[in-house]
Structure 1
Amino acid sequence: MPRFAANLTMMYNEHGFLDRFAAAARDGFNAVEFLFPYEFRAGELKARLDAHGLTQVLFNAPPGDWSGGERGLASLPGREDEFRRSIDTALEYVRVLGNRKLHVMAGLLAGDQPGQPGDKQRKAQRDVYLNNLAYAARAAQAEQITIVIEPINTRDMPGYFLNRQDDAQAICAEVGAPNLKVQFDCYHCQIVEGDLATKLKRDMAGIGHIQVAGVPERHEPDIGELNYPYLFDLIDALGYDGYIGCEYRPRAGTTAGLGWLKPYLGAGR
């Protein structure tokens, strides 16, 4: 049976961030993920996890200047030292919070016209990306951590460097690190490519984490064009044993929208 983690960045926005741990636990979640922990001390977050019997599943390495529009550092030429420091910072939090997976964001495409870089610039970024991912994987291996990379749709994040599942899998294969895998976000994949079931069957061995949301509005996974009960059964049948992150924006109150989750409550306890 699938196991689900509440994404505390998107869910439970009715509460202050530190109070979202308790809210998720009350609703039956036993695991959480979020984008970034760095506004808080790692020990403070760990205390919330422990107080409510929650497992930390995933968070993102520092993405650069998020408020200034940056969306990751890994593919950005000239930022390699900053990228390495960001991995060091992320692993300091991992050691306290206990998650075994860390998402590393690629960053935005560069070029004279946003979203339309030349082939030379794209190749330069790809070379930097591969080298940085190899560094991150080596650093994480010592901590027994899996690095994951995520294709993101360009409707929600225009100009993002990595958009397709096959490209992400090819990058992981080229780097060749056993602890580098792909984060399969069903919402992003449906918008960019569709054909999710075929891609899950094709790529499951290289998938390190899965996330869900309804398409196209990114609400609960029982709303929209995807048949999630079918996909959940398929994911189970394919042997995926990780958590599925609920990275969606509730239509109204988070708790009120959790009817879809009731058949799965208790999985993983």
Structure 2
Amino acid sequence: MPRFAANLSMLYNEHDFLDRFAAAARDGFKGVEYLFPYAFAASDLAARLADNGLQQVLFNAPPGDWDRGERGTACLPGRESEFREGFLRALEYAEALDCPRIHVMAGLMPAGSSKDELRATYVGNVGWAAEQAAKAGRQVLLEPINTRDMPGFFLNYQEEAHAIVQGVGAKNLQVQFDLYHCQIMEGDLAAKIRKYLPTGRVGHFQIAGVPERHEPDIGEINHPYLFGVIDEVEAQCGWQGWIGCEYRPRRGAVPGGTSDGLGWLRALRLSGLAG
């Protein structure tokens, strides 16, 4: 049965960040994820998790200078030391928060560069990260991201990500399968779930409605059907991951905006398709 985690970077924006943990717990979430923890002391975040009976399921390693538009450094030649320093910091937070997964953003390709030119740097960095994470009992995730929301991002397709994971060969290196990004770039979501989930290379799912990135009960994706596919396949292969709710509520940052938009999740719980 799929388990859903609230993405606190996008949900509950009517609250200050540290108050979003309690808001998610009130709506029945048992897990949370978000982009980055580094603006807060790990002890403060751990206390919010404990106070609200929540599990931290995912966050991102440092992405470079986010405010200036950087979206990861893993593929960038000459930034290897910065990448490694940032990843070690992520491991410290993962230990403090008992978080099993760290997403490593690939980064935007420099102007005039090609994927072939950047691939060796990327593979070397994620391989090193997987080695360090293995020592700490953590998983490293790679996420293909669509070129409409993030033009120039290095990693865009499920097949690309799975090929890199296979090539590196680390058991704790996995793919973050975002159905929103995959629908925009590729489609054929049910077939891809059936293809990739049994391989053991899928570490996490994320969802949002397409095209507006709102709740998953509007747009062109039949999410209840896909949740059924995930439920069916996970029962066969023993997958025990989470589905991150990484969408922008239609009502935005207004009181009750996120909670009012959770009718889709309440319906899944009643049908037995949500844990």
> For 2:204, what is the secondary structure of its paired residue?
strand
1:2 CA drift (Å): 1.3
Q: 1:8-19 residue pairs with structure 2 within 5 A? A: 8-19=8-19
Identity %, equivalent residues: 61
Code of the residue aligned with 2:33 in structure 1: it is E
**Residue 165 of structure 2, aligned match among 172, 175, 178:** 172
1:120-166: CA deviation from partner (whole Å, max 9, x where unpaired): x4222110000001100000001111100000001001110000000
Supply the distance in 1 between the matched residues of 2:155 and 2:19 (Cα, whole angstroms).
33
Runs of 4+ aligned structure 1 residues displaced above 3 Å come to 263-268
Aligned twin of 1:39: 39
Are residues 1:260 and 2:259 paired?
no
The residue identity in structure 1 corresponding to 2:98 is G
**Map of 1:23 onto structure 2:** 23
Count of residues in Structure 1 that have an aligned counterpart in Structure 2: 261
1:219/1:251 contact within 8 Å kept: yes
The equivalences for 1:128-147 within 5 A come to 128-147=121-140
The alignment partner of 1:82 has SS state of: helix
> Residue type of the partner of 1:59?
F
Task: Tell whether the 8 Å contact from 1:3 to 1:264 is kept in structure 2 after alignment.
Answer: no
Query: SS state of the match for residue 102, structure 1?
Result: strand
Counterpart residue identity of residue 146, structure 1? Q
Q: Distance in 2 between matches of 1:251 and 1:154?
A: 23
Query: How much is the aligned-residue C-alpha RMSD, in angstroms?
Result: 1.1
- Residue 110 of structure 1: CA displacement? 1.6
CA distance in 1, matches of 2:268, 2:89: 35
- Assess if the C-alpha contact under 8 Å between 1:102 and 1:147 holds in 2: yes
Q: Residues of 2 paired with 1:191 and 1:16: CA distance? A: 31
> Partners in 2 of 1:20 and 1:264 — Cα distance?
22
Paired with 2:262 and 2:111, the residues of 1 have a C-alpha distance of 43
Whichever residue aligns with residue 2 of structure 1, its letter is: P
How far apart are 1:264 and its partner, in Å? 4.0
What secondary structure does 2:206 align onto?
strand
Distance 1:193 1:183 in 2: 15
Partner of 1:110, secondary structure, is coil
Deviation of the 1:241 alpha carbon? 1.7
Corresponding residue for residue 244 of structure 2? 245
Partner of 2:254: none
Distance in 2 (CA, whole Å) between partners of 1:153 and 1:79 is 23
Residue 146 of structure 2 aligns with which residue?
Answer: 153
TM-score normalised by the chain length of structure 2: 0.93
Distance 2:188 2:115 in 1: 26
TM-score (norm 1): 0.95
2:217 corresponds to which residue? 222
Tell me the distance in 2 between the aligned counterparts of 1:134 and 1:41. 28
* 2:62 alignment partner, SS class: coil
Contact 1:2–1:264 (CA under 8 A) maintained in structure 2: no
Alignment match, 2:72: 72
Q: Structure 1 counterpart of 2:233, which letter?
A: L
**Unpaired segments ≥5 residues, structure 2:** 252-256
Which residue is equivalent to 2:175? 182
